[in-house]
Amino acid sequence: MKRNVLVWVEAAIIAALSMALSWIPDFAGWFTPSWGAIVLVIFSLRRGLTPGLAAGLLWGLLHFAVGKVSFLSVEQVLIEYVIAFAVMGLAGLLYSPFQKALKAEKYTSAITLACTAAFVGVGVRYFFHYIAGVIFWGKYAPEGMSPWLYSLTVNGTAALGTFIVVVIACVALIRQKKIWIAH
């Protein structure tokens, strides 16, 4: 397969796999970690920024195809299912130093860079959910709780849980070079 085509086929498979992982039982409502972020961050470090952004965007759009969109308004849906999912690909900003570290078998540096990538991708995504939470979901806050604190509690917990599962997966898989280095 032409290299370019291969990258896009991989992006589509990654988006589908990330989507599939959202059927892992949701044990804590909006607090539940986003398992698909594991696959998306790894892919962004394997293929770089543009493929990462594209796979994230596609994952977001797949929510419409499978009917897993929580709709409050058009603006909310654009922020939470188009922008928030696409920006997870920003993890790919760390692609070059990560690839260099891994190819040199500098595993400590590679893990540090992967954690930074996870922090960027997951952090920027949940920043958008946080903003959407304040503007659109504030009305669901418990009596007497401000929308700011409500959104920070919900999205901060989900972001932290997601970051932790991505980091655990990266550490567990770091020596599996075939996952990280494309040919």
Q: Which residues bind ligand 218 (CB under 6 A)?
A: 30, 70, 80, 129, 132-133, 137, 150-151, 154-155, 158
- Shortest separation between residue 156's beta carbon and ligand 218, angstroms: 10
Closer CB to ligand 218, residue 135 or residue 174?
A: 135
Q: For the chain, what is the radius of gyration of the CA atoms?
A: 17
Closer CB to ligand 218, residue 35 or residue 180?
A: 35
Closer CB to ligand 218, residue 46 or residue 80?
A: 80
**Residue 45 to residue 32: CA distance in whole angstroms:** 24
Closer CB to ligand 218, residue 11 or residue 122?
A: 122
- Shortest separation between residue 159's beta carbon and ligand 218, angstroms: 9
Q: Please tell me the number of Cα atoms within 13 Å of 58 on its side-chain side.
A: 19
Closer CB to ligand 218, residue 30 or residue 119?
A: 30
- Shortest separation between residue 43's beta carbon and ligand 218, angstroms: 18
**Residue 142 to residue 129: CA distance in whole angstroms:** 18
The residue among 62, 55, 78 whose CA lies nearest residue 20 is 62
User: Going by C-beta distance under 8 Å and a sequence separation of 6 or more, which residues neighbour residue 114?
Assistant: 41, 45, 94, 98, 167, 170, 174
- Shortest separation between residue 63's beta carbon and ligand 218, angstroms: 7
* Nearest residue to ligand 218, by Cβ distance, number only: 133
The residue among 40, 10, 136, 32 whose CA lies nearest residue 79 is 136
- Shortest separation between residue 145's beta carbon and ligand 218, angstroms: 11
